[in-house]
């Protein structure tokens, strides 16, 4: 349960990226990743890192996807995004010609197939395979023709729905082929040969090889030899339809045997295959075994900080638990552990509101049964969610409780650093908490030591010692890069850019934030993504690139809102408001700024920033009274608490306000 920062997946991503960069230097490669809307979170991280690679070398990276949640960060790194629509009549004709490698297509045939498929490219490909294999399409003098294919016959052979087309294809195969097809469909989209052979050894020895050859000839399966010899369904729709025709009792028998075979063939790799084993046990109706494997899958995904998978596996575990008879429920300690793992994953990656709801449920249902460590972990992440929604005092109480009641140094160190962040407006108290965190660091070269130094750098910034902060952040960046801790190095790089921004070196800040964004791509949480986009947008605003700034700030506001990060969302919207006003949408810009008043209340820096931007808007309106009132309000802010950047901006606006005040 200890929430150590596991950097294995981070090192994996960096290793893959370095390998690709080395290949790019040798020769221009082409990388293709298909169906990214179905990808797990680690694959999406790899895709996002590849999409963000520097464009200094020649390479082509292609990703195919359908619109889906979770792809935002990947899409940001693309140079071009093409929407592939259904084929028109001309594209249908070209596809038929390409399929047969011929020069022409009979016009009547092209119209028939286009009307039947309505331009669906996959459906057209399936239909062409189906008709060619039955001798209903032929080539004469370089022209693809279907002289015997009447509309009535086409309707009978190839119904409009893809499911019915798949059923029509399955009706054509023999009983031995169908038996092997059913076994393959139960295994999955990819069918390892060694699993298929052991699923029914007698059938395989007598009819198996011939049946698989027939299925390949029919265009239903293809052979693969990437890792181990296997088969793959050329079209998953056919697999789904074939699976649906298996009787329920046989499905359960097949899935139980498949799970047995996978466990037997991979004795030392069960954790890696836990999700697959859980799915087969569930479909076999073996609820207890399925819950066991979902729990194993949850533990592994949580240890690797694969939050989306963790939430999914716990949901599957809960769904199975709900089907158990009264008195057969899992032990309360196991229910508690699964709830905590889901809560941590939600708090870390998905959103404060959902996390707070789960925290209340855990406190009401499991608190008395939890270990001290589980309570501390919950308090730590409950505090993080409270901080995100602006409830700083409640967050402090949770962090303090986590620090006091746990015995694990990592949780106590994390809690102390979060308390220091809460207390940055009180330097002496912040120093005490940073000191307590430092005392818990066991190894001077660990990532916890780096995090303590980052906290000291943040305190130096809060006290106005920007050069001291630069030195600390530079040391952390260099040390983290040598150790392969890229996310920490990116944070330090971003902090250095923040120092430049605060001191008014806006061009250096812009370059620094851009570098940090590339370094941190796919390595942080969605809250981290919102902060990165905010920093990039603010730096672009101060160098005058309002169009680019608008794009980054809009993304920051949307991401921060989705995860409930109140302060980031508020700051992004304040800057969006002034950008809209500068671009000529004064009324809309003012409305966006005013809508943040309540969220900014209680945060002196955000309140000042809001007043400063409203002052700018009043000047754009040539509103004498509004300009005078807001200028007086801004000038009452203590100058020693303002960064050089904001002091300079206030000074510039004060000078520009004189003509308005004299009007």
Residue 464 DSSP SS3 = coil
Length of the chain in terms of residues written: 663
Query: Quick one: pLDDT at residue 475?
Result: 95
Query: φ, ψ for residue 222 (rounded to 5)?
Result: -130, 155
Q: What is the DSSP string of 372-428?
A: HHHHHHHHHHHHHHHHHTT-HHHHHHHHHHHHHH---HHHHHHHHHHHHHHTTTSHH
Q: Given a cut of 80, is residue 76 above it in pLDDT?
A: no
Q: Nearest-CA neighbor of 358 among 372, 373, 346, 370?
A: 346
Read off the pLDDT of each residue in 172-188 and give the average, rounded to a whole number. Answer: 88
Distance CA 527, CA 398 (A): 20
Residue 300 DSSP SS3 = helix
Q: Given a cut of 60, is residue 262 above it in pLDDT?
A: yes
Q: Which of 163-177, 518-532, 590-604 has the highest mean pLDDT?
A: 590-604
Q: Which of 1-15, 123-137, 635-649 has the highest mean pLDDT?
A: 635-649
Query: Quick one: pLDDT at residue 2?
Result: 43
Distance CA 55, CA 429 (A): 46
- Please give the residue that has the higher pLDDT: either 252 or 146: 252
Q: Nearest-CA neighbor of 634 among 616, 597, 595, 608?
A: 608
- Strand ranges of the sheet holding 190-192, from the earlier edge strand across to the other edge: 190-192, 230-233, 221-224
Q: Nearest-CA neighbor of 648 among 542, 496, 554?
A: 542
Read off the pLDDT of each residue in 251-259 and give the average, rounded to a whole number. Answer: 95
pLDDT band at 119 (very low <50, low <70, confident <90, very high): confident
Query: Quick one: pLDDT at residue 381?
Result: 94
Which pLDDT tens digit goes with each residue over 482-520?
Answer: 888 888 999 999 999 999 999 989 999 999 998 888 887
Q: Beta strands 30-33 and 104-105: pairing type? A: unpaired
Q: Beta strands 138-140 and 104-105: pairing type? A: unpaired
Read off the pLDDT of each residue in 334-351 and give the average, rounded to a whole number. Answer: 91
- Across the chain, what does the average pLDDT equal? 87
Query: φ, ψ for residue 428 (rounded to 5)?
Result: -65, -40
Give me the long-range contacts of 312-321 (CB less than 8 A, separation at least 24).
Answer: 313/275, 313/278, 314/338, 314/339, 314/341, 314/342, 314/345, 315/342, 316/278, 316/282, 317/291, 320/282, 320/287, 320/290, 320/291, 320/294, 321/291
């006091």: which residue's tokens?
A: 404
Read off the pLDDT of each residue in 298-317 and give the average, rounded to a whole number. Answer: 91
Query: Quick one: pLDDT at residue 419?
Result: 95
Query: Quick one: pLDDT at residue 326?
Result: 83
- Give one word for 370, left, alpha or beta, with left for phi > 0 and alpha for psi -120 to 50: beta
Q: Beta strands 143-145 and 138-140: pairing type? A: antiparallel
Give me the long-range contacts of 26-33 (CB less than 8 A, separation at least 24).
Answer: 28/57, 28/58, 28/59, 28/60, 29/59, 29/60, 30/59, 30/60, 30/61, 30/62, 31/59, 31/60, 31/61, 31/62, 32/61, 32/62, 32/63, 32/64, 33/61, 33/62, 33/63, 33/64
Least confident of 73-82, 274-283, 413-422, 471-480: 73-82
Burial of 269 (0-12, 13-18, 19+ CB in 10 A): exposed
Distance CA 503, CA 425 (A): 19
pLDDT band at 159 (very low <50, low <70, confident <90, very high): low
Least confident of 238-242, 353-357, 401-405, 447-451: 238-242
Could you tell me what percent of the chain has a pLDDT over 70? Answer: 95
Contacts of 569 (CB under 8 A, 6+ apart): 530, 556, 557, 560, 561, 599
Read off the pLDDT of each residue in 378-402 and give the average, rounded to a whole number. Answer: 92
Which pLDDT tens digit goes with each residue over 312-336?
Answer: 999 999 999 999 988 888 999 999 9
Q: Given a cut of 50, is residue 3 above it in pLDDT?
A: no
Helix (H) or strand (E) holding 313: helix 307-321
Least confident of 172-181, 182-191, 373-382: 172-181
Query: Quick one: pLDDT at residue 554?
Result: 93
Q: Nearest-CA neighbor of 355 among 387, 382, 377?
A: 382
CB-hemisphere CA count at 13 Å for 57? 17
Distance CA 284, CA 279 (A): 9
DSSP strand E in 72-172: where?
A: 104-105, 138-140, 143-145
Q: Nearest-CA neighbor of 466 among 434, 491, 503?
A: 503
Contacts of 190 (CB under 8 A, 6+ apart): 224, 230, 231, 232
Encoding tokens for residue 611? 């007043």
Which pLDDT tens digit goes with each residue over 98-116?
Answer: 888 877 888 888 888 888 7
Encoding tokens for residue 473? 């952040």
Residue 440 DSSP SS3 = coil
Encoding tokens for residue 399? 């962090």
Distance CA 606, CA 608 (A): 5
Encoding tokens for residue 8? 């294995």
Report helix angle 486-502 to 506-520, nearest 10.
160
Q: Given a cut of 80, is residue 257 above it in pLDDT?
A: yes
Contacts of 189 (CB under 8 A, 6+ apart): 232, 233, 236, 239
Q: Return the number of other C-beta atoms located less than 10 Å from residue 433's C-beta.
A: 24
Check: CB of residue 207 under 8 Å from CB of residue 176: yes
The DSSP letter of residue 62 is E
Read off the pLDDT of each residue in 76-90 and give the average, rounded to a whole number. Answer: 82
- Strand ranges of the sheet holding 143-145, from the earlier edge strand across to the other edge: 104-105, 143-145, 138-140
Distance CA 229, CA 223 (A): 8
Query: Quick one: pLDDT at residue 261?
Result: 94
Encoding tokens for residue 180? 């092997």
Distance CA 49, CA 53 (A): 7
Q: Given a cut of 70, is residue 179 above it in pLDDT?
A: yes
Query: Quick one: pLDDT at residue 292?
Result: 96
Least confident of 81-95, 148-162, 238-252, 479-493: 148-162
Query: Buried b / exposed e across 128-141, counting CB within 10 Å, b at 16+?
Result: bbbbbeeebbeeee
Distance CA 568, CA 167 (A): 53
Q: Given a cut of 60, is residue 1 above it in pLDDT?
A: no
Which pLDDT tens digit goes with each residue over 574-584?
Answer: 999 999 999 99
Q: Return the number of other C-beta atoms located less than 10 Å from residue 200's C-beta.
A: 17
Helix (H) or strand (E) holding 192: strand 190-192
Query: Quick one: pLDDT at residue 129?
Result: 78
Q: Given a cut of 70, is residue 591 above it in pLDDT?
A: yes
CA 645 to chain centre: 34
Q: Given a cut of 90, is residue 258 above it in pLDDT?
A: yes
The residues pairing with 206 across neighbouring beta strands, listed in sequence order, are none
Read off the pLDDT of each residue in 411-438 and give the average, rounded to a whole number. Answer: 93
Query: Quick one: pLDDT at residue 162?
Result: 55
């Amino acid at each position: 349960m200890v929430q150590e920062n596991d950097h294995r997946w981070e090192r994996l991503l960096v290793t893959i990226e370095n390998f690709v960069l080395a290949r790019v230097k040798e020769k221009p490669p082409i990388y293709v990743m298909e169906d990214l809307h179905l990808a797990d979170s680690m694959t999406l991280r790899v895709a996002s890192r590849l999409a963000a690679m520097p464009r200094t070398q020649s390479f082509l990276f292609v990703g195919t996807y359908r619109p889906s949640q979770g792809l935002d960060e990947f899409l940001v790194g693309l140079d071009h995004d093409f929407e592939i629509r259904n084929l028109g009549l001309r594209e249908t004709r070209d596809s038929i010609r390409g399929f047969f490698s011929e020069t022409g297509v009979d016009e009547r045939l092209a119209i028939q197939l286009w009307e039947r498929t309505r331009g669906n490219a996959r459906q057209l490909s399936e239909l062409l395979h189906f008709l060619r294999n039955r001798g209903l399409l032929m080539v004469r003098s370089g022209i693809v023709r279907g002289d015997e294919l009447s509309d009535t016959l086409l309707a009978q052979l190839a119904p409009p729905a893809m499911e019915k087309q798949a059923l029509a294809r399955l009706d054509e195969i023999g009983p031995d082929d169908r038996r092997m097809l059913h076994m393959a469909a139960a295994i999955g989209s990819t069918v390892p040969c060694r699993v298929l052979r052991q699923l029914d050894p007698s059938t395989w020895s007598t009819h198996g090889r011939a049946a698989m050859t027939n299925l390949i000839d029919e265009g239903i399966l293809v052979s693969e030899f990437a890792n181990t010899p296997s088969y793959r369904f050329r079209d998953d729709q056919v697999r789904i339809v074939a699976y649906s025709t298996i009787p329920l009792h046989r499905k359960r028998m097949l899935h139980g045997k498949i799970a047995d075979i996978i466990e037997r063939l991979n004795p030392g790799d069960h954790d890696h295959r836990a999700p697959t084993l859980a799915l087969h046990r569930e479909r076999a109706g073996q609820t207890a075994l399925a819950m066991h494997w979902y729990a194993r899958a949850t533990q592994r995904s949580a240890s690797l900080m694969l939050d989306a998978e963790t939430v999914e596996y716990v949901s599957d575990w809960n769904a199975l638990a709900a089907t158990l008879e009264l008195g057969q429920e899992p032990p309360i300690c196991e229910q508690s552990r699964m709830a905590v793992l889901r809560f941590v994953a939600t708090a870390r990656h998905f959103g404060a509101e959902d996390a707070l709801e789960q925290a209340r449920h855990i406190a009401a249902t499991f608190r008395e049964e939890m270990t001290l460590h589980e309570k501390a972990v919950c308090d730590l992440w409950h505090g993080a969610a409270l901080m995100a929604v602006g409830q700083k005092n409640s967050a402090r109480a949770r962090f303090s409780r986590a620090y006091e009641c746990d015995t694990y140094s990592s949780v106590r160190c994390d809690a102390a650093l979060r308390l220091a962040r809460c207390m940055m407006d009180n330097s002496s108290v912040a120093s005490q908490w940073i000191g307590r965190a430092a005392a818990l660091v066991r190894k001077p070269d660990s990532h916890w030591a780096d995090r303590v130094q980052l906290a000291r750098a943040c305190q130096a910034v809060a006290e106005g010692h920007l050069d001291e902060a630069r030195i600390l952040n530079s040391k952390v960046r260099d040390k983290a890069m040598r150790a392969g801790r890229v996310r920490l190095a990116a944070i330090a790089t971003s902090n250095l850019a923040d120092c430049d921004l605060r001191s008014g070196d806006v061009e250096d800040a812009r370059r620094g934030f851009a570098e940090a964004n590339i370094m941190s791509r796919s390595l942080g949480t969605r809250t981290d993504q919102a902060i990165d986009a905010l920093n990039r947008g603010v730096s672009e605003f101060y160098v005058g690139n309002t169009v680019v700034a608008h794009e980054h700030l809009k993304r920051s506001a949307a991401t921060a809102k989705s995860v409930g990060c109140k302060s980031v969302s508020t700051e992004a919207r304040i800057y969006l408001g002034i950008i809209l006003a500068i671009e000529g949408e004064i009324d809309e810009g003012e409305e966006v700024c005013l809508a943040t008043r309540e969220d900014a209340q209680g945060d002196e820096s955000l309140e000042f920033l809001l007043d400063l931007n409203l002052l700018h808007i009043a000047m754009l309106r040539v509103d004498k009274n509004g300009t005078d009132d807001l200028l007086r309000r801004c000038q009452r802010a203590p100058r020693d608490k303002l960064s050089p950047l904001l002091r300079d901006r206030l000074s510039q606006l004060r000078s520009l306000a004189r003509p308005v005040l004299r009007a």
